[in-house]
Structure 1
Amino acid sequence: MSDSTKQIIRHLHGISTMQEIAEKAGLMPNIRAVQAWQCKRLLTSHQHMYQQKRFKPAVEFFINELYGPNDFSQRDQDIARIIPKMSRFLPESALQSLASALHLNTLSFELDFDLAKELVGTEVNRDTYATAYVNCNNHATRQQQIDYIRTLGTDLADVVKMKGISSLLFISRKPAKVAGVLALHEFLEKGFKSFKNIGNVNDFITPVINKEHQIMQQLINPNLPNPLPDV
Structure 2
Amino acid sequence: MRFRRSYADLLAHPRYTGAAQFFLDHLYGPGDFSRRDAQFARVVPTVVRLFPNDVVSTVAKLAELHALSEDLDTRMAEELFADGCPISPEAYLQAWQKTGMREQREMQIELTIQIGAELERLTRKPLLRQALRMMRGPAGAAGLTELQSFLEVGFDTFRAMKGADEFLSTVDRRERTLCDALFETSILGRSAKENSDLAQIRRYFSA
Q: Classify 1:102/1:84 alpha carbon distance in 2 versus 1 (closer, same or farther; 3 Å).
A: closer
Q: Percentage identity across aligned positions?
A: 28
- Asked if 1:114 is matched to 2:78, the reply is no
Contact 2:52 2:131 in 1 (8 A): no
1:192 to 155, 160, 169: 155
Q: How far does residue 180 in structure 1 lie from its aligned partner after superposition?
A: 4.3
Secondary structure of 1:63 counterpart: helix
Q: How far does residue 178 in structure 1 lie from its aligned partner after superposition?
A: 5.2
The one-letter code sitting in structure 2 at the alignment partner of 1:123 is P
Counterpart position of 1:54: 15
Counterpart position of 1:93: 54
Q: Spell out the pairing of 1:1-231 with structure 2 (5 A cutoff).
A: 40-78=1-39, 83-88=44-49, 90-120=51-81, 121-177=84-140, 180-219=143-182, 220-222=184-186, 223=191, 224-225=194-195, 226=198, 227-228=200-201, 229=203, 230-231=206-207
Give CA deviations for 1:174-227 in whole Å, capped at 9, x if unaligned: 454455432222122122122112222211111111111111222223340312
Q: Using structure 1 for the length normalisation, give the TM-score.
A: 0.73
Where structure 2 has 5 or more consecutive residues not aligned to the other structure, the ranges are none
User: Across the two proteins, how many residue pairs are aligned to each other?
Assistant: 192
Cα distance in structure 2, aligned partners of 1:81 and 1:111: 20
Cα distance in structure 2, aligned partners of 1:145 and 1:83: 19
Secondary structure of 1:124 counterpart: coil
Q: Using structure 2 for the length normalisation, give the TM-score.
A: 0.80
Secondary structure of 2:125 counterpart: coil
RMSD: 2.3
Where structure 1 has 5 or more consecutive residues not aligned to the other structure, the ranges are 1-39
The one-letter code sitting in structure 1 at the alignment partner of 2:171 is V
Counterpart position of 1:5: none
